[in-house]
Amino acid sequence: MATTFHFSTNLTKTASFPPCNSITAFITLPSKNSKTLLIRTAVNSRAKSFNLKKKLLSVNCVAEHKLQDPGSQQQQKEATDSLSSVTPDATSIASSIKYHAEFTPMFSRENFELPQAFFATAQSVRDALIINWNATYDYYEKLNVKQAYYLSMEFLQGRALLNAIGNLELTGPYAEALSKLGYRLEDVACQEPDAALGNGGLGRLASCFLDSLATLNYPAWGYGLRYKYGLFKQLITKDGQEEVAEDWLEMGNPWEIVRNDITYPVKFFGKVVTGSDGKKHWIGGEDASAVAHDVPIPGYKTKTTINLRLWSTKAASEEFDLYAFNSGRHTEAYEALANAEKICYILYPGDDSIEGKVLRLKQQYTLCSASLQDIIARFKRRSGATVNWEEFPEKVAVQMNDTHPTLCIPELLRILIDINGLSWKDAWNITQRTVAYTNHTVLPEALEKWSLDLMQKLLPRHVEIIEMIDEELIRTIIAEYGTADSDLLEKKLKEMRILDNVELPSEFADVLIKSKEADIPSEELQTSEEVENNNDGDEEEAVAKNDEIDESSIQDKKEELPEPVPEPPKLVRMANLCVVSGHAVNGVAEIHSEIVRDEVFNAFYKLWPDKFQNKTNGVTPRRWIRFCNPSLSKIITEWIGTEDWVLNTEKLAELRKFADNENLQVQWSEAKRNNKIKVAAFLKEKTGYSVSPDAMFDIQVKRIHEYKRQLLNVLGIVYRYKKMKEMSAAERKANFVPRVCIFGGKAFATYAQAKRIVKFITDVGATVNHDPEIGDLLKVIFVPDYNVSVAELLIPASELSQHISTAGMEASGTSNMKFAMNGCILIGTLDGANVEIREEVGSDNFFLFGAKAHEIAGLRKERAEGKFVPDPRFEEVKEYVRSGAFGPYNYDELIGSLEGNEGYGRADYFLVGKDFPSYIECQEKVDKAYRDQRTWTRMSILNTAGSYKFSSDRTIHEYARDIWNIEPVKLP
pLDDT (tens digit per residue) in 667-716: 999 999 999 999 999 999 999 999 999 999 999 999 999 999 999 999 99
| Overall average pLDDT of the 246-272 stretch | 95
Residue 364 sits at the vertex; the CA angle it makes with 363 and 366, to the nearest 5 degrees, is 65
Residue 592 catalytic? Answer: no
pLDDT tens digits, residue range 540-595? 444 444 444 455 555 555 556 677 778 899 999 999 999 999 999 999 999 999 99
Strands 220-225 and 305-314, how do they pair? parallel
- The residue that leads in pLDDT, 462 or 528, is 462
Neighbouring residues of 767: CB distance < 8 A, sequence distance ≥ 6: 721, 885, 886, 887
- Taking the C-alpha atoms of residue 252 and residue 257, their distance in angstroms, rounded to an integer, is 11
Among the options 98, 395, 440, 492, which is catalytic? 440
| Overall average pLDDT of the 159-173 stretch | 95
**Phi and psi at residue 575, to the nearest 5°:** -65, -40
- The residue that leads in pLDDT, 370 or 113, is 370
Angle between helices 834-841 and 933-945 (to 10 degrees): 110
- Taking the C-alpha atoms of residue 444 and residue 446, their distance in angstroms, rounded to an integer, is 5
- The residue that leads in pLDDT, 140 or 20, is 140
pLDDT band at 904 (very low <50, low <70, confident <90, very high): confident
Amino acid occupying residue 463: V
Q: Which of 107-121, 225-239, 543-557 shows the lowest per-residue confidence on average (mean pLDDT)? A: 543-557
**Above 60 in pLDDT, residue 525?**
no
Amino acid occupying residue 839: E
CA distances from 686 to 675, 784, 785, 790 (A): 17, 8, 10, 11
- Taking the C-alpha atoms of residue 177 and residue 766, their distance in angstroms, rounded to an integer, is 44
- Taking the C-alpha atoms of residue 489 and residue 480, their distance in angstroms, rounded to an integer, is 10
Greatest mean pLDDT range, 94-108, 158-172, 532-546 = 158-172
- Taking the C-alpha atoms of residue 367 and residue 365, their distance in angstroms, rounded to an integer, is 5
- Taking the C-alpha atoms of residue 796 and residue 671, their distance in angstroms, rounded to an integer, is 9
Percent of the chain residues past pLDDT 70, beyond the cut: 86
Do residues 820 and 947 lie in contact, with contact meaning Cβ atoms separated by under 8 Å?
yes
- Taking the C-alpha atoms of residue 124 and residue 102, their distance in angstroms, rounded to an integer, is 12
Residue 656 catalytic? Answer: no
**Above 90 in pLDDT, residue 130?**
yes
The pLDDT score that the predictor gives to residue 333 is 85
The pLDDT score that the predictor gives to residue 552 is 54
Count CB-CB contacts under 10 A for residue 843.
Answer: 9
Residue 743, H or E segment: strand 739-744
CA distances from 795 to 620, 821, 881 (A): 14, 9, 30
Do residues 799 and 698 lie in contact, with contact meaning Cβ atoms separated by under 8 Å?
yes
**Above 60 in pLDDT, residue 863?**
yes
**Above 90 in pLDDT, residue 749?**
yes
Among the options 40, 708, 863, 954, which is catalytic? 708
Q: Which of 81-85, 356-360, 808-812, 966-970 shows the lowest per-residue confidence on average (mean pLDDT)? A: 81-85
| Overall average pLDDT of the 758-780 stretch | 97
CA end-to-end distance (rounded Å), the chain: 33
Do residues 953 and 214 lie in contact, with contact meaning Cβ atoms separated by under 8 Å?
no
Residue 293 catalytic? Answer: no
| Overall average pLDDT of the 826-854 stretch | 97
DSSP alpha helix (H) spans, 86-170: 90-103, 114-143, 161-167
Residue 490, H or E segment: helix 486-496
The pLDDT score that the predictor gives to residue 545 is 43
* Burial per residue of 596-607, b for 16 or more beta-carbon CB atoms within 10 angstroms, e otherwise: bbeebbeebbeb
Among the options 818, 863, 938, 949, which is catalytic? 818
| Overall average pLDDT of the 772-782 stretch | 97
Domains and CATH numbers, the chain: 89-143+168-193 (no CATH), 630-853+924-950 (3.40.50.2000)
Do residues 815 and 791 lie in contact, with contact meaning Cβ atoms separated by under 8 Å?
yes
- The residue that leads in pLDDT, 118 or 543, is 118
The secondary structure of 162-192 as a DSSP string is: HHHHHHTT-HHHHHHHHHHTT--HHHHHTTS
The pLDDT score that the predictor gives to residue 555 is 56
The pLDDT score that the predictor gives to residue 1 is 44
Count CB-CB contacts under 10 A for residue 32.
Answer: 10
- The residue that leads in pLDDT, 107 or 188, is 188
Residue 69 sits at the vertex; the CA angle it makes with 65 and 71, to the nearest 5 degrees, is 135
Residue 449 catalytic? Answer: no
Q: Which of 328-337, 439-448, 595-604 shows the lowest per-residue confidence on average (mean pLDDT)? A: 439-448
pLDDT tens digits, residue range 409-437? 999 999 999 999 999 999 999 999 999 99
- Taking the C-alpha atoms of residue 889 and residue 353, their distance in angstroms, rounded to an integer, is 29
The secondary structure of 209-235 as a DSSP string is: HHHHHHHTT--EEEEEE--SS-S-EEE
pLDDT tens digits, residue range 481-504? 998 888 999 999 999 999 999 999
The pLDDT score that the predictor gives to residue 39 is 36
The pLDDT score that the predictor gives to residue 859 is 97
Residue 651 catalytic? Answer: no
- CA-nearest of 439, 435, 441 to 408 is 435
E strand map for 527-656 = 571-573, 585-587, 612-614
| Overall average pLDDT of the 152-165 stretch | 96
Residue 459 sits at the vertex; the CA angle it makes with 456 and 464, to the nearest 5 degrees, is 65
The DSSP output letter for 301 is T
Among the options 226, 395, 573, 703, which is catalytic? 703
Q: Coil, helix or strand for 659?
A: coil
| SS (HEC) of 694-711 | CCEEEEEECCCCHHHCHH
- Taking the C-alpha atoms of residue 49 and residue 181, their distance in angstroms, rounded to an integer, is 9
The pLDDT score that the predictor gives to residue 36 is 30
Sequence length of the chain is: 972
pLDDT tens digits, residue range 612-624? 999 999 999 999 9
Neighbouring residues of 721: CB distance < 8 A, sequence distance ≥ 6: 764, 767, 768, 774, 778
Residue 957 catalytic? Answer: no
- CA-nearest of 768, 791, 685, 775 to 729 is 775
How high does pLDDT run on average in the chain? 88
**Above 90 in pLDDT, residue 784?**
yes
Among the options 98, 497, 702, 759, which is catalytic? 702
